[in-house]
Homo-oligomer: A and B are copies of this chain.
Amino acid sequence: MAYEPTRLERLLFRLEAQHRSLNWAFGEIEDKPGPVLELGLGHGRTYDHMRQHLPGREIFVFDREIDCFPDCTPPAERLILGKLSETLPQARFRFAGKAVLVNSDVGTYDDALNAEMAGVVSAGLPALLAPGAIVLSDLPLLLPGATSLPLPQGVRSERYFIYRSP
């Protein structure tokens, strides 16, 4: 029987994947102006990592509600609250073709909900992306024309995905 990662390892490997992928992505977008989008704030850990490593970059956060560490709360003018199935389609009026990096972390332990959320993100995201934008995702996405990129070296999670928009 293949080794099944423990609960400790599943979270460790997920954070490791986020950390290495984000750090790689920061270099990729260095010379490309444009906003960064975070889909799913959660506790605010990846948001905190992005804002510290992307000073001066506008980071817009989408989530249903705020449930983060108080010191990780995004400024109100860059917070888009509501269901992604509604806020993402609306966001094309504001971000059409502009976003250079998207970090999508909207998965749960509910497989049916994950499939639904992957569909919502896959449908709503392409219109917002700048050419060559990087998309990091905890769910597999179907982004028309996008290239699926290999994970950075050392990443042990099989549940993490990187795409580059056309």
Contacts and interface: CB of A to CB of B under 8 A. Distances in A.
Interface of A: 4, 6-9, 11-12, 15-16, 18-19, 22, 43-46, 48-49, 52-53, 69, 72
Chain A contact residues, majority secondary structure = helix
Contact of A43 (B7, B9, B49, B52): B7
B12 A16 contact: yes
Stoichiometry, as copies per complex, reads 2
Contacts of A49: 6-9
Nearest to A15: B12
A67 B56 CA distance: 40
B11 A45 contact: yes
| Chain B CB within 10 A, most for which of A8, A12, A69 | A8
A18 B6 CA distance: 13
A44 B22 CA distance: 28
